[in-house]
Chain A
Amino acid sequence: MVRTTPRPSRSGSRSPKGLTAVLSAATFFVVWTLAAIAIERNVLPPPWVVAASMVDEAVSGDLFFHLSATLSRVIAAFVLAMSLGTAIGFLMGRYRAIDSVLDVWLIVLLNLPALVVIILAYVWFGLTEAAAIGAVALNKLPNVIVTIREGARAFDPELDQMARAFRLGWRKRLFDVLLPQLQPYVAAASRSGLSLVWKIVLVVELLGRSNGVGFQLSMYFQLFDVATILAYAISFIMVMLAIEILIVQPLELRANRWRVRTH
């Protein structure tokens, strides 16, 4: 696609924004180092000790093994929660009858503590992978439903009417008319979803799995090895950051390409 008009405000603001981010990160490491010097070394190790422990774990292969275990759980639970939540939220926003039937259960689910869901899932379904992923997905599900339902309530009736006037089939109505309207809501739900899911995955791993970042954290907590705990936490945050920059942001840019235009 040819874009004739570049957007000077965007490209112009990119480099200062990058610079600010670098400066901000540098300040963080300086503060961390100063704090590590002031506090006892075992409680808050300085950045280079954490880095060394990260290298150790990486060389032994443990880091990647546990990172990938956690990451695959995050992806599975995320996909499950997003697809189910989008479908249910869509139906609830679109059909009042379904909304009134499911609304009370939605409120129950929204207020059910994550820990209760996890424990019950393990008790009822055993310490299995399916129970772990299901419990995480169930914790994320109500937020997705609530967000998508708002989106489905805000569907443009004029476009609906257009679709009816031209007798569009359900496939076109869904994929060309309705889902694109949901896109910002899906983006919002997945943004908050990805971060929430990985935090809950750690709890699930801590309570009932024998691998993954959560499992490693509980092990090094018992050894009071703060450096390795930080090494694992920071590694996974970096993975999530990479997903954000390499996958989520390009996807959003693509989905919004019809918006990012000058008038």
Chain B
Amino acid sequence: MSVPIDLHVARKVYRGAEGGTVEAVRDLSLFVPAGGFTALIGPSGCGKTTSLRILAGLDTDFEGTIGLPSETRIGFVFQEPRLLPWRTVEANMRLVHEKPDAFDPTPLFADLGLMEMRNRYPTELSLGLARRVSLGRALAINPDVLILDEPLTSLDETTALRLRQLIVKVWQKRRPTTLMVTHNVREALQIAERILLLAPRPSRVVTEIRLDRPQEERDEAYVEAMRSTLVRDWPLLVA
């Protein structure tokens, strides 16, 4: 079951080693309707990743509310694939599942085009393939919420394009409530349903952009036009 995300971070402060503090987030509210696909965009260091970590329960030192039922299954795709190098691709996928032996990863492998890779070790994979496995691992638990932390950085354009299509495909098929962090506006315009623009530190949402056109119908011209509008309206936030 998809559940809505309703995150509210009143304040998140980082304490430096020498006692100084940096306020990373202030009064940030993120809402993603159940089954929706929202992209978070903002300049680097604006607390995007921090918000994801708080949402996933990886960082509990903050003021605010997460607003997710405690039994929510969260699939997390990290910026680096973070696979276990000593386990095969298939074992990496099985690991996160509640019943690793009962889990049949074959349909997922088929969806992600990883059929031939199932017995390989992560060290043998290219970054693009490892990212696909990482996405597959997040989907293996049949997540209610899918969190993508810059899943497409440092990929070449062709690989990134394929992975983008793949993300859209699995999202449409399984409909987890999806929240993606990116600093690439084109990427967000191509695959998200909705974009939240964040202002830098302490970060907060400055505007929401709805993208009603289905992903398949968004061509180069559409993406370019949307981007120009965004750059014009928010020159400091959108590159």
Contact = CB atoms under 8 A, between A and B. Distances in A.
B86 A180 contact: yes
A164 to B, nearest CB: 6
B76 A165 contact: yes
A161 B121 CA distance: 21
Contact of A165 (B56, B95, B119, B124): B56
B87 A176 contact: yes
Contact of A158 (B56, B78, B86): B78
A interface, how many residues as a size bin?
A: 10 to 19
A166 B147 CA distance: 11
B124 A159 contact: no
A166 B84 contact: no
Contact of B95 (A1, A2, A164, A176): A176
A162 B119 contact: no
Interface string A223-263: 00000000000000000000000000000000000110101
Contacts of A263: 123-124
Interface residues of B, number: 21
A177 interface: yes
Given A158-B80, A180-B84, A165 B123 contact: no
Nearest to B52: A165
B59 to A, nearest CB: 10
Chain B contact surface mostly: loop
A172 interface: yes
A261 B141 CA distance: 29
Contact of B58 (A2, A161, A177, A180): A161
A168 interface: yes
Nearest to A179: B86
Nearest to A156: B82
Nearest to B91: A176
B58 A165 contact: yes
Contacts of A159: 82, 84
A251 B96 CA distance: 27
B96 A168 contact: yes
26 contacts: A1-B119, A2-B119, A158-B82, A159-B82, A159-B84, A161-B58, A161-B78, A164-B58, A165-B56, A165-B74, A165-B76, A165-B78, A166-B75, A166-B76, A176-B95, A177-B84, A180-B84, A183-B86, A258-B85, A258-B123, A259-B85, A259-B123, A261-B121, A261-B123, A261-B124, A263-B124
Interface of B: 56-58, 74-76, 78, 80, 82, 84-87, 95-96, 119, 121, 123-124, 137, 141
